[in-house]
Structure 1
Amino acid sequence: MTSILSQPLDLPCGVQVKNRFGKSAMTEAMCGPDDDPTQAHATLYNRWAKGGMGVQLTGNVMVDRRYLERPGNVVVEDNSNLSALSAWAEASKVDGCQIWMQISHPGRQCPIVVNTRPLSPSAEKLQILGLFGKPRAMTDDDIEDAIARYAKTAQIAQKAGFDGVQIHGAHGYLISQFLSPITNQRSDEFGGSLENRARFLRRVYAAIRAVVGTDFPVAVKLNSADFQKGGFTLEDSCQVAKWLQEDGIDLIELSGGTYEKMSFVNGTEDEQRDSTKRREAYFLDYAREVRKAVSVPIMVTGGFRTRTAMEAAVTEDGIDMIGLARPLCVLPDAVADILAGKVEDISSDESGLNIGRGRFGANTKSWLANLVNTVSQVEFYAWQMTRMSRGQEPQSELRNNATLYFLWYLNRTTMRGIGRKFAKRRS
């Protein structure tokens, strides 16, 4: 019997995605000091495309060279790297798989090794181990410049051969900072009411749509909630989704959390406490509420591991696309195997990446232990991406060495940041 997951999806702009699977964005951090994509990007995305994906979302591509999510991000400001972008896009298209560029600005979530004074709607500092500088509140000129940069990057993506773009409005990056009353303390037209706080996102979307046309997919990644007291709520998410639908958005991918509440990595706190029930689809409960508010296609990412749960999300909950990320780092053929009926479960054991089983105790609440655990999980999967970008297969077995992956993250971020600064001084 053919799975509902194999059926194509028609987007409002008229474009059709071949099946219901989307590779959600994961930061690759594979660039050199020039911030341009390399053969590594083409090799990695070609491997994923061969695994049966309907559409792939790139890792966050930065709109401004001065502010990165981390050193190694791709930056697109002009046509200077058009040839490399085109090679990346072309390699990512296998058997009808589409490639969409995720467009992003980190705002205050810019490491101090990149910029000591990042931008944000307000000067609210991110308190994590001193890794981030105190942001500068954006001026009107800063806001207009950022909006123009989003549009320019989208325009270049289209020119390079990407099949669509996704605006990153989640996970505590710049647009998410505008949406949250915690990080947006402005008193002008971009602050205060939800309508004002959503203005930046809606203007970014309008600017992009104006340059790419009506038949080019434009999606948004949106938090279902920040999961912080006084932050962006589910009710806010439903209302913003309504406005985006009115504006003409093609797809909304729902996720959640920020660097301070990394629910997009580990699930929500309620799910973390639930030891008697298998956790799947971290944000599905929230997505059901958003689905009641809008009819625009919805993609849910985070926690899907079994075909049964994926099919139920589409047939019972009205979700249009299943977003997968980490499973594809160890099982790049997971989608093809699910659709062929070869596998039912794509779970992997992450216990080896949890230092809480050691000196901190099995149920540690230590913020440092939680930070190391979270980063080490992310970096384990980043290592698998690095292997595939070299033409190697993933190492599916996990190692009991969370600290090693955490130190690898610190080394990669610091050394690439320093190397990038020296390269720019020489140029």
Structure 2
Amino acid sequence: MDIAEPLQLPCGATLPNRLAKAAMTEGLADTTGLPTPELVRLYDLWARGGAGMLLSGNIQVDADHLERPGNVIIDRDLTAAERALFEEWTAVGRANDTHFWAQISHAGRQTMTAINPQPKAPSAVKLDLPGGQFGEPVALEAEEIADIIARFVRAARICKEVGFTGIQIHAAHGYLVSQFLSPRTNRRSDEWGGSLENRARLLTEIVRRSREAVGGDYPIAAKLNSADFQKGGFAFEDSLRVVGWLEELGVDLIEISGGTYEQPKLLGIEGTEPADDPDIAKSTAAREAYFVDFAHVMKEAAKVPLMVTGGFRSRAAMEQALAEDAADVIGLARPLCVQTDGPARLIEGASGLPRFEDWLSLLPGVLKFLTKIKMVRTLAGFATQYWFYGQIYALGRHGAPRPGLSVFKAWRQVEATHKDWLERRRA
């Protein structure tokens, strides 16, 4: 199947091709969570890059539960001036008939201590990570859960009003909705915990009520872990059942991903594989399409269109996944931080996209060996992530990437930017 072929979604909307810019946290909003000229410049580049659909980074529904400083926030009704800023952002994102969807999220216990030392979560289960960057979570009360659902629904309604052409509910990567899905982090005994049906209730209620708010002809997607890759966590069999429920609720597209901060398969550390079960998730020779094997099985269980993100670099692998009905949309992320027109190049015949994250292969053998240690591996993963943050900063601020930026300079730049944002927020 050709990557340039359009895709009609169940709601009736049509994506102009099968390539999507996957969600990546930008960190470019102002201290009140509003879009900035840097965000406009960034998405102008991506909208001209040839992807049929762009997904925003996390748009948070609670200013006290950000994934990082600089997240966009919709946790209130907007003033006319605030709406104008969002409308300017969405207008550039929709250029060239590109779809521009909002990823709506709540970080839950994965909120940095500097933002909230006691974030809310399904249960009081702290992140098992070194460094003290995340505080002691507090279990949500029932009325607070109802408020969170209302926040997601309000954000969905506002996103439609300000010009986003669709929304995606973030239920992966260990953020709040994902925390509810996992028995490892959800130890509740009420209607929001215990059975999978109860653990999925937050997600299904958000989707059901969001559909009521935006209407039947507006795209609603969900991002879902194929698995958490942690003992006692959200398992692949759970994911299959949740996909079926989402299909019944009329979700138009499900993006398959995996991992959490504690098990950062999503960070793409060199030498890791997407799952420990070789019968479910096998690495291809080129380490492409991390989650495509999960999608194969999911397509047998449900007919809802699937978006697969993670590892794709060659056009041949993308078209093979489409032809084998393992994916309906190919999500591209990190390559587009440097080569913003990567989708257009692929559609025009390029054989693939460059892989910029292999910096670990340049390190001395002893350092590569040290990445077998969990703390070093986690720090290495976040360092790599920060290099891509640095590229996004460069695109937004200057209109061009900085591929020569060192990982260590990128780390310092991101830390300095976060510090400055937090100081301005407190002022």
TM-score class, shorter-chain normalisation, is over 0.9
SS of equivalent to 1:166: strand
Q: Does 1:250 align with 2:252?
A: yes
Query: Deviations along 1:41-62, whole A, 9 cap, x unmatched?
Result: 1111111110111010000000
Distance of aligned partners of 1:349 and 1:148 in 2 relative to their CA distance in 1, 3 Å threshold: closer
Q: Does 1:350 align with 2:348?
A: no
1:191 CA displacement: 0.4
Query: Deviations along 1:341-393, whole A, 9 cap, x unmatched?
Result: 1x212122433356863653446312232122211211111111112113432
Q: Does 1:419 align with 2:419?
A: no
1:373 and 1:402 in contact (8 A); partners too: no
Partner of 1:403: 408
Distance of aligned partners of 1:253 and 1:275 in 2 relative to their CA distance in 1, 3 Å threshold: closer
Q: Which amino acid aligns with 1:266?
A: G
Partner of 1:39: 37
1:317 CA displacement: 3.3
Distance of aligned partners of 1:222 and 1:47 in 2 relative to their CA distance in 1, 3 Å threshold: same
Partner of 1:377: 384
Q: Give aligned pairs, total.
A: 417
Q: Does 1:200 align with 2:202?
A: yes
Distance of aligned partners of 1:126 and 1:45 in 2 relative to their CA distance in 1, 3 Å threshold: same
Partner of 1:389: 396
Partners of 1:235 and 1:306 in 2: how far apart? 29
Partner of 1:335: 343
Q: How does 1:62-73 map to 2 (within 5 A)?
A: 62-73=60-71
Q: Which amino acid aligns with 1:188?
A: D
Q: How does 1:8-407 map to 2 (within 5 A)?
A: 8-77=6-75, 78-80=77-79, 81-128=82-129, 129-266=131-268, 269-270=272-273, 277-341=285-349, 343-353=350-360, 357=364, 360-362=367-369, 364-397=371-404, 401-407=406-412
2:337 and 2:388 in contact (8 A); partners too: yes
Distance of aligned partners of 1:43 and 1:276 in 2 relative to their CA distance in 1, 3 Å threshold: closer
Partners of 1:359 and 1:38 in 2: how far apart? 43
2:335 and 2:356 in contact (8 A); partners too: no
In structure 1, list runs of 5 or more residues that go unmatched.
423-427
1:224 and 1:254 in contact (8 A); partners too: yes
Scaled by the length of structure 1, what TM-score is found?
0.93
Partners of 1:276 and 1:304 in 2: how far apart? 11
Q: Which amino acid aligns with 2:74?
A: V
In structure 2, list runs of 5 or more residues that go unmatched.
277-281
SS of equivalent to 1:406: helix
Partners of 2:184 and 2:10 in 1: how far apart? 33
1:276 CA displacement: 9.2
Query: Deviations along 1:244-283, whole A, 9 cap, x unmatched?
Result: 0001101000000001111112179436999993200111
SS of equivalent to 2:96: coil
Partners of 1:272 and 1:169 in 2: how far apart? 19
Partners of 1:52 and 1:270 in 2: how far apart? 30
2:370 and 2:376 in contact (8 A); partners too: no
Partners of 2:192 and 2:25 in 1: how far apart? 28
1:271 and 1:279 in contact (8 A); partners too: no
SS of equivalent to 1:22: strand
- How large is the Cα RMSD of the aligned pairs? 2.0
Partners of 1:413 and 1:253 in 2: how far apart? 29
SS of equivalent to 1:65: coil
Partners of 1:388 and 1:234 in 2: how far apart? 37
Scaled by the length of structure 2, what TM-score is found?
0.93
Partners of 2:411 and 2:382 in 1: how far apart? 6
Q: Does 1:7 align with 2:15?
A: no
Distance of aligned partners of 1:108 and 1:323 in 2 relative to their CA distance in 1, 3 Å threshold: same
1:181 and 1:192 in contact (8 A); partners too: yes
Q: Which amino acid aligns with 1:211?
A: A
Partners of 2:267 and 2:325 in 1: how far apart? 22
Runs of 4+ displaced beyond 4 Å: 271-276, 353-356
Partners of 1:275 and 1:193 in 2: how far apart? 32
Partners of 2:151 and 2:315 in 1: how far apart? 39
1:412 CA displacement: 3.0
Q: Which amino acid aligns with 1:303?
A: G
Partners of 1:272 and 1:255 in 2: how far apart? 11
SS of equivalent to 2:104: strand
Partners of 2:307 and 2:224 in 1: how far apart? 10
Aligned sequence identity (%): 43
Query: Deviations along 1:137-167, whole A, 9 cap, x unmatched?
Result: 0001110000000000111111101101000
Distance of aligned partners of 1:107 and 1:356 in 2 relative to their CA distance in 1, 3 Å threshold: farther
Moved more, 138-147 or 284-293: 284-293
Moved more, 184-193 or 268-277: 268-277
1:353 and 1:376 in contact (8 A); partners too: no
Partners of 1:254 and 1:158 in 2: how far apart? 24
Partners of 2:292 and 2:316 in 1: how far apart? 14
1:113 and 1:414 in contact (8 A); partners too: no
SS of equivalent to 1:254: strand
Partners of 2:284 and 2:255 in 1: how far apart? 28
SS of equivalent to 1:79: coil
2:274 and 2:291 in contact (8 A); partners too: no
Partners of 2:242 and 2:179 in 1: how far apart? 14
1:66 and 1:114 in contact (8 A); partners too: yes
Partner of 2:279: none
1:20 and 1:54 in contact (8 A); partners too: yes
